[in-house]
Amino acid sequence: MEAQAAVAPEESPSSARDDIAPDTGTPFTRARTLRFGAGFFVYGLLWIVGLQIVAAVLLPQRLRDIGVDSPETLLGSISAITAVVSLVSNLVFGNLSDRTRSRFGRRAPWILAGGLIGGVSLFAIGVLTSPALITLVYCVCMVGLNMMLAPAVAVLADRVPGRMRGTMSAFYGGGLAGGAPVGSLVGAAFLTHALPGFVLGGALMAGSAVIALIVWPRETSAADLPPAAAGFGELLKSFRPPRKAPDFYLAFAGRLFMLVSYQMVMAYQLYIVQDHVGQTTAESARTIATMAVITLVVSLVGSVVSGPVSDLIGRRKLPVVVSSVLFAVGIAMPWIYPTPAGMFLFAGIAGFGYGVYTSVDQALNVDVLPNEEEAGKDLGILNLSTTAGQTVGPLLTSAIVVATGGYGFVFPVSIAAALLGAFFITRIKGVR
């Protein structure tokens, strides 16, 4: 975080937070708004497209191509291992970026290094044939990804005033919501010729960090900030979770269950289309491509509209709860209709709901932070809910498929998780 300018005595803390850029102490101008908005959108769009090309399509297919006996089980194991790596690295790098005192700022060095590490390792997966090496390199990719994600998300707290966070979160969420289906669409195009897809995925992940740092206003030097407390003991203490912060933990639980719901279906969408709906590889490629186009349109609409509306009405919880319910309704479609049409309905309804969710949820998480001076660490803790959801969701799906021999029971469990996440959000008291 950049040095925070002192607020003039006549300004209330609320007005300072809502109208003044926290890093400069000056009004958040239109030019600054456009640069941050464009930067957040392009950043979210590029890294999620790159990741989804591999994670959603090419990696599951590659496990089959190299002759893995039970690719569903191995995919669940890979997801679990890499999610644990993500969980730890997100917390570690968020905290370390809080403590960084670089002349390039606290966040920028980590964002750049993480993007490059993540991009190179994502590409490398495409040239490996050993399941063990694929798992190892994917772990390295998740280290790099979270090395840039934790500091980048903290920029929202560091440099964006409260009244603009819904809009900035909408730009970032719009990139994520639009990029995820684009990644699936692009990945499907490389199903029969995968290596260029891995190259493209790695390049997009690395490019996301570079472009964001170019587009955002340059972060000011952190070299003159008071040094972080030294010593190994102080470093360990700095990882301590917030105390007496119930809203923080309710937001954590809400995101956890929503991400469990999301990953239960999305991590297995290729297998669901092939095994639950009953399509061939070629047919599934066309179905996933159509789903991606539908999801792209509806998620962009949901994310672009909901963030500014959230800022306008001054509410975060309502859009998050409504979006979770919509996502649950969408999941029910392929459960009721195990056909391509059911998958398309899922893409339309759940895609719109998730677009709204990604747009507002990040702003809600920033609003429940107990101490914005420790934004990197605390957002890292909140992001543990994402990685935990990425762990539990695929494991649940894998366990259900192994136990029941099909995907029929996956859908009601995923619906229940989404609704439980919405319930926890309704219990938050300190944010409207």
Mean pLDDT of the chain: 85
pLDDT for the residue numbered 145 = 95
pLDDT over threshold 80, residue 83: no
Mean pLDDT for 342-362 is 89
pLDDT for the residue numbered 7 = 36
User: Which residue would you say has higher pLDDT here, 13 or 354?
Assistant: 354
Report the C-alpha gap between 350 and 380 in whole angstroms.
Answer: 26
pLDDT for the residue numbered 231 = 59
Exposed e or buried b per residue across 154-187, where buried means at least 16 C-beta atoms within 10 angstroms of its C-beta? bbbbbbbbbbbbbbbbbbbbbbbbbbbbbbbbbb
Phi and psi torsions of 176, nearest 5°: -65, -50
Mean pLDDT for 363-386 is 78
User: Which residue would you say has higher pLDDT here, 305 or 327?
Assistant: 327
Count, residues in the chain: 432
Mean pLDDT for 137-164 is 89
pLDDT over threshold 90, residue 86: no
Mean pLDDT for 141-150 is 93
The region of weakest confidence among 233-242, 329-338, 408-417 is 233-242
Looking up tokens 């090395």 gives 147
pLDDT over threshold 80, residue 387: no
Domain boundaries, the chain: 28-219+231-426
Closest C-alpha among 215, 187, 221 to residue 102:
221
pLDDT for the residue numbered 372 = 67
pLDDT over threshold 60, residue 9: no
| CA gyration radius, the chain | 21
pLDDT single digits (tens) 185-220: 898 889 888 899 999 999 999 999 999 999 999 888
pLDDT single digits (tens) 219-269: 888 777 777 766 566 667 667 777 778 899 999 999 999 999 998 998 888
Q: In CATH, what is the architecture of 28-219+231-426?
A: Up-down Bundle (1.20)
pLDDT over threshold 60, residue 14: no
pLDDT above 90: percentage of residues in the chain: 38
pLDDT for the residue numbered 13 = 36
The region of weakest confidence among 67-81, 368-382, 415-429 is 368-382
pLDDT single digits (tens) 89-135: 988 898 888 888 888 888 999 999 999 999 999 999 999 988 889 99
Question: Does the predicted TM-score (pTM) go above 0.85?
Answer: no
Report the C-alpha gap between 20 and 380 in whole angstroms.
Answer: 25
pLDDT over threshold 70, residue 301: yes
Report the C-alpha gap between 381 and 240 in whole angstroms.
Answer: 10
> Sorting pLDDT into bands at 50, 70 and 90, what band is 340?
very high
Mean pLDDT for 314-319 is 84
pLDDT for the residue numbered 207 = 97
> Sorting pLDDT into bands at 50, 70 and 90, what band is 67?
confident
The region of weakest confidence among 274-283, 332-341, 372-381 is 372-381
Mean pLDDT for 336-355 is 92
